[in-house]
Chains A and B, each alone.
Chain A
Amino acid sequence: MTGEAATTTAVCEVVDLVKHFGPVHAVDGLSLRVDPGEVVALVGESGSGKSTVGRLIVRLLDPTAGTVSLGGIDVGTMSRRALRPHRRTVSIVFQDPASSLDPRMTVGGIVAEPLRLHGVARADRSARVREVLEQVGMRAGVAERFPHELSGGQRQRVSIARALVSEPRLLVADEPTSALDVSVQASVLNLLADLQRDLGFACLFITHDLAAVEYLADRVVVMYLGKVAEVGTREQIFEHPRHPYTQALLSAAPVPDPARQRHRTRVVLSGELPSQIDPPSGCRFHTRCPLAVERCRTEVPALREIGGGSVACHLVDDDGAGPDVRDTAEPV
């Protein structure tokens, strides 16, 4: 990775991205950028649209509106043929390795497939496959095996190897550890952290697991109902969250330490995630926000840059000061 020299061109930048599935507003005007070598976590609950964003970035889906740029080139509206050379620069790892690996192909075939599609000669392919399998901590012999012969953690390693074989500049990891047991989760998170550090690719880490975010991410983008609620560095988000939703989300995730957990203030949000077919007016979080005022119901808050991060909340003023929903909550 070239490091500082490349700071001007984002590996990936999406601007005002919109994706509607019929009446469903999955993503509704979302902007974010990922710089070279950076790990950006895209956090949100189910229905927030975070996975759709990942699929739009790798062009598994076509955007309804807005732009998707990879390395400064707008790929959002490119034809499939024109897109081909750019596909190499971005890869995706899915949540469930059991359903994202072809059961009839060997591990070697699976990992080599992206290279085959990019026209790499057979002899070069097998050398590269061996190399990348070693990088994800698997023995070369595994190339002859089939996915069903592997454990969940091993299968996810194969998915990661397949994603990295073409040396992408951006890895989109969509809930890569959610289907795994804790101990296996740990080894996959460690592996991603090691590979990212050694190979220097940028990563968009899509997850609902805040603990994993704090472990891996440099920057965090918090999504709610198709929009960005807050963006900040890891420290900003975890130590000084400004958006009431971020504050509620952090307070709801229990920490595995009874002594600390039982002294935390926890915000229980009223109601459930509203429908994406008819999203609330004004601030989309107002129906569940304990602090919402009249303005929140009518006026859509803009995502404003404040002190190195961005927040979309009327209650946060321009110097970043604002209320904390955790002050309104009863201690557990």
Chain B
Amino acid sequence: MSTVTTTDVDPYQPGSGTPLLQVRDLSVDFRTEDGHVCAVDQVTLAARAGELLAVVGESGCGKSVMAMALSSLLPRNATVTGSVELAGHQLVGASASDLRRVRGSRIAYIFQEPMTSLNPVFTVGRQVAEVLRVHEGMDRRQALDRAAELLDLVGIANPRERLRQYPHQLSGGLRQRVMIAMAVAGNPEVLVADEPTTALDVTVQAGILDVLRDLRDRLGAAVVLITHDLGVVADIADRVLVMYAGRVVERGDVHELFARPRHHYTMGLLGAVPTPRIDEQEERLREIPGLVPTLERPEDRCTFADRCPAADDTCRTHQPPLERAPESNHEVACWHPAGTEGKETR
């Protein structure tokens, strides 16, 4: 893998620290039997140490594909272009052996389904220890000791006992904690969590979010959290990136973005979530008519135009650039960003 010198910080976040992970113009194109699908279109993002970046969007918006493209986890029919720099190493186009050195030790993943990601025929201990033996070169004894420490780190009680158990003997929440323990085993600088709490109950989810918070704060990891749950984002994210049809449509600081959403898609998403009613007013939930489109190739238009209440001819013929939204400190890709008629500043 080629070593590149990272001199520029995230151009869209002036004044902040050097990112660990710098993604520029990342695009993913799939060849399928039904033709091409452009799943991710020119995504640029940066993840910094000790910071949690949430990538939000509905199914089909490309957020999981984008996450998997970061360390080339996609199948062969995917074409990835653009640049993914992880602490100076270029990952797009890197060789399999180079990627093996990076995965687990510099960038690690936590997936949604802990049941299908754990091997049912091996004990928890053996699976966590395997990571340590491969990445850290530990012997069996050392690896098991460290595995117990890791289970403790992610808040599993009686770790020694748990190491001897099989995945089916654990609850969903515990399995997800084991997945997190495996992900952090190689001390990765970047942790990508793809819907880690979606399959879990809220009381269990709260505990898992605490673990992620803790890893960010104590280990200083850069966490990229892929989610569709705006409640989770509000709870845990430092910065937010909203994706729609493969593109970044809005991004910025979490407080700023929730208080002053400028993209009509972001506003639609926020309005669609039932929130505890502060007054007794019978308010209808906001609906976004239509569906997320599947694009064959990048189009020079706003991909949300067909569902947008503010769309006009410009939107249908020119792609809006991601730039600073009026009267705000975050970026939006919209020709007609919502103004002050949005949510009031709290």
Using a CB–CB cutoff of 8 Å, the interface residues on chain A facing chain B are 45-46, 151, 181-183, 185-187, 189-190, 193, 208-212, 214-215, 238, 248-249, 252-262, 266-269, 271-273, 332
Contacts and interface: CB of A to CB of B under 8 A. Distances in A.
A79 to B, nearest CB: 38
Nearest to A251: B206
Nearest to A256: B230
Contacts of B58: 181-183
Q: Chain B interface mostly helix, strand, loop or mixed?
A: helix
A240 to B, nearest CB: 14
B50 to A, nearest CB: 17
B121 interface: no
Contact of B274 (A189, A208, A248, A269): A189
A209 to B, nearest CB: 8
Contact of A254 (B232, B272, B277): B232
Interface stretch (B18-26, B27-35, B253-261, B330-338): B253-261
Interface residues of B, number: 46
Contacts of A261: 231, 234-235
A257 B274 CA distance: 12
Interface in B174-214: 174, 201-207, 209-210
A248 B203 contact: yes
Nearest to A216: B274
Contact of A211 (B201, B232, B255, B275): B275
B168 to A, nearest CB: 13
Contact of B206 (A186, A210, A268): A268
Contacts of A46: 172, 201
B311 interface: no
A210 B275 CA distance: 9
Interface in B210-237: 210, 228-235, 237
Interface of B: 58-59, 157, 171-174, 201-207, 209-210, 228-235, 237, 254-255, 258-259, 268-277, 284-288, 291, 346
A273 B271 CA distance: 33
A14 B254 CA distance: 46
A190 B287 contact: yes
A211 B273 contact: yes
20 contacts: A45-B203, A181-B58, A181-B228, A182-B272, A187-B285, A208-B201, A209-B274, A211-B276, A212-B274, A214-B277, A215-B285, A248-B203, A253-B231, A256-B270, A256-B275, A259-B255, A261-B235, A271-B157, A272-B173, A272-B204
B275 to A, nearest CB: 6
A327 to B, nearest CB: 17
Contacts of B232: 254
Contacts of A182: 58, 228, 230, 269, 272-273
A260 B229 CA distance: 16
B259 A259 contact: yes
A252 B206 contact: yes
B200 to A, nearest CB: 9
A8 B277 CA distance: 31
Nearest to B237: A258
Contacts of A259: 255, 258-259, 346
Contacts of B259: 259
A249 B202 contact: yes
B75 to A, nearest CB: 23
A183 B204 CA distance: 25
B206 A183 contact: no
Given A183-B287, A190-B284, A211-B275, A256 B203 contact: no
Nearest to B253: A258
B203 A187 contact: no
B32 to A, nearest CB: 17
A256 B174 contact: no
Nearest to B268: A183
B205 A252 contact: yes
